[in-house]
Chains A and B, each alone.
Chain A
Amino acid sequence: MWLLALCLLPVAAAAVTGAAPSPRVTRWRVGALVGTAAVHLALTAMLWRLPPQQALNGWLGDDALGTIVLTLTSVLFFATSVYTVGYLARATPRGGRVFVSGMLGFLAATTVVALSQHLAMLWVGLEATTFAVAPLIFHRHDRRSLEAVWKYLVLSSVGIALALLGIFFLASAQHGVPGDPLILGDLTAHARELQPAWLRAAFVFLLVGFGTKMGLAPMHTWKPDTYGEAPALVGALMAGALTSCAFLGVARITQVTTAAGLTAFVQPVLFAFGLLSLATAAAFVIGQGDLKRLLAYSSVEHMGLLVLGLGLCGVGTYGAVLHLVNNGLVKGWLFLVAGNVVLATGTSAAAGNRGLVRTLPVSGVLLVAGLFAVTGSPPFGLFLSEFTILRAAVDGGHLAIAVSTLVLLAIIFVGMAVLVMNMALGEPAPGVRPVRESAWLLAGPLALAGLVLLLGVYIPGPVQATLARAAVALGGRVP
């Protein structure tokens, strides 16, 4: 029942805020957004205390990995909704009605994805996220955002269509096998009886399909355009929550193939996508001239690390699950800070945008700290998770992978540092005065930064236990 409430609450809120017509009630609408986000977060927190729940004949359930993705989404959404209060007070074409409804629709769709135990239902949720964010990307209604939304719609619709074909292949693989069709638990329990040829085809199509939504190279081409043109807070939701949900889809099918003993087939495919994503990110980070596009390539990099960790098995799986949380939080943090830069200076381009530490004291410092966090420096959480993934590579005897990953990470660090340091330091343009920053716009990124720091120094007991259960369910182990 709690699970259904979690899914239906944002749907109802989206309907109510969408139905209220007058643009004058923006304040009320944004209040509903923050209220819904808070209730969603409270319900999610309660799931941590309750025993595992089920709903709709076992189609919905909160297993360890799903709970992690749900909690990540809910935390990010709450931080972003607080930020939205400040954002819509400054930039609100057309009253923000479509914007708020789109955000709530996104929350509903991601909740369904996180809680789905039925893989076709997961697909329906993931497809719905595409349409919920389309109006958010198109928020500015200009040529550039139009181009971005078109590329995004076509690429992710085709990707997700191929994933649906993969789901049907999986159903074919399950033909004549006991258990309910396409239910994750039944698939893994009888994994060895699945028809291997169909299962392999299903894995490839689902990886390509959900990989397009994650933004794995070479299906990442929509990402820099979309993140570059969408409002920064939409980038925070997409790079933090949406990619995590898409990764959940990839993790689910990998869970089935691992249980079926197809690791030897799956591993090289995941390695190839992972390393290609890292290499693509490294190539495009160097010489990048726009902060939001830079973050988009950083997202490609981290998606690569996630599938690499998943492919490495053993402690790599644990590293991937931990990295999922860290990456989601740090992307929320950095995109919201990038949003503050855009609101204050009108652009996220690096050219002419200097001395942010002086003009935007808090956001400037958060930007520099975020650079170190996102590139995996201690004491932030990403250091721990990237280290775990690298350790898995060494343990598994994949020295070439470990070395090339380290080299690519170093290149990406240099590329990102050049752009961020150029923007943060230096002399601000003459006549630019320090801006008084709104608390609404700072609360979200500060809270997320605190969480990333916390995960770097101390992982609370219940979180650690859930991460461990998720890793074990995926066929990995705890370091």
Chain B
Amino acid sequence: MQTTAELLLLLVVLTDLAVLGTSRLRTCIRAVAAQGLLLGLLPLALASQVTVHVAGLAAGTVLVKAVVLPWFLLWAIREAAVRREVEPVVGFIASLLLGALALALAFAISGRLPASDVREPVLIPAALATVMMGLIVLTTRRKALTQVVGYLMLENGIYLFGLTQTESVPFLLEVGVLLDIFAGVFIMGIVVFHINREFDSLDSARLSELKD
């Protein structure tokens, strides 16, 4: 089963890079949805045997991260009629380079971490890389909606790291975490909707009235 998990993790990193390199919001959302699906499959690939716990986790993840949230975000951009990320703070090629740097850094850091008995060695670097690329998207994009996508990537990276700890975090709490993320993105989506209506734009850089 080792190779399946490794393949899935490789695909996760590729979806990260896809979000970094594209200007189309719709593609960003599709990429993050694909990432959600991969994340749902990973516990099945990693588990030595499929228990109710693992199957429930996989089903919940796919439902929230690959179906409901992407659908909601696609609805939001349809309502707001935006399609492209214009003039990001850091260009797309530059963000891809930053992403590659983040990936290298993630492997370097993971190599120095004390090896807790992890079944899948690529898991931790992939998790850290996804966290860093999520932060890159969050900080360098101007559209409020792309920032929500960045937040989702950040959460996905943390979820990947959480997969090393499935025995220590019980099912009930995983449900709690998933619900919280769901509520977070949902409320952010509603705020994005209001930003669009108030300012006629999803550009969060226009939110600059409040300062000292």
Contacts and interface: CB of A to CB of B under 8 A. Distances in A.
A127 B180 contact: yes
B144 to A, nearest CB: 7
Interface string A269-282: 00000000000000
Contacts of B154: 158, 161
B165 interface: yes
Interface stretch (A167-175, A310-318, A378-386, A438-446): A167-175
A151 B116 CA distance: 37
A153 B164 contact: no
B162 A175 contact: no
Interface stretch (B14-22, B72-80, B191-199): B191-199
A176 B191 CA distance: 44
Contact of B113 (A142, A144, A197): A197
Interface string A135-174: 1001001111011111101100110010011001001101
A152 B199 CA distance: 18
Interface residue range, chain B: 35 or more
Interface stretch (B30-38, B85-93, B94-102, B181-189): B181-189
A151 B207 contact: yes
A157 B158 contact: no
A121 B114 contact: no
A118 B173 contact: yes
B180 A143 contact: no
Nearest to B183: A131
B181 to A, nearest CB: 8
Nearest to A131: B183
Contact of A175 (B117, B151, B180): B117
B173 A134 contact: no
Contact of B187 (A131, A146, A224, A229): A131
Contacts of A175: 116-117, 168
Given A175-B116, A293-B212, A150 B207 contact: yes
Contacts, number: 115
A146 to B, nearest CB: 6
B212 A153 contact: no
A147 B151 contact: no
Contact of B168 (A131, A143, A151, A181): A181
Contacts of A195: 114, 116
B140 interface: no
B108 to A, nearest CB: 15
Interface in A179-224: 181-182, 195, 197-198, 224
Contacts of B135: 158
Interface in A263-296: 284, 288, 293
Nearest to B173: A120
Contact of B169 (A127, A149, A182): A182
A176 B176 CA distance: 25
A55 interface: no
Contacts of A157: 151, 184, 188
A148 B210 CA distance: 8
Nearest to A120: B173
A284 B135 CA distance: 28
Interface in A85-142: 118, 120-121, 123-124, 127-128, 130-131, 134-135, 138, 141-142
Given A150-B207, A224-B212, A134 B187 contact: yes
A157 B184 CA distance: 8
Contacts of A141: 194
A158 B116 contact: no
A124 B177 contact: yes
A181 B167 CA distance: 9
Contacts of B187: 131, 134-135, 153
Given A120-B169, A146-B207, A128 B183 contact: yes
B168 A161 contact: no
Contact of A165 (B117, B161, B169, B184): B161
A456 interface: no
Contacts of A164: 158, 162, 177
Closest 3 CB pairs of A and B: A181-B168, A124-B176, A147-B207
20 contacts: A120-B176, A124-B173, A127-B180, A128-B180, A131-B180, A141-B194, A151-B207, A153-B184, A153-B187, A153-B191, A154-B138, A157-B151, A165-B161, A175-B116, A175-B117, A175-B168, A176-B116, A181-B165, A181-B168, A293-B212
Given A128-B180, A131-B183, A168-B158, 6 more contacts: A120-B169, A168-B161, A181-B165, A182-B168, A224-B212, A228-B210
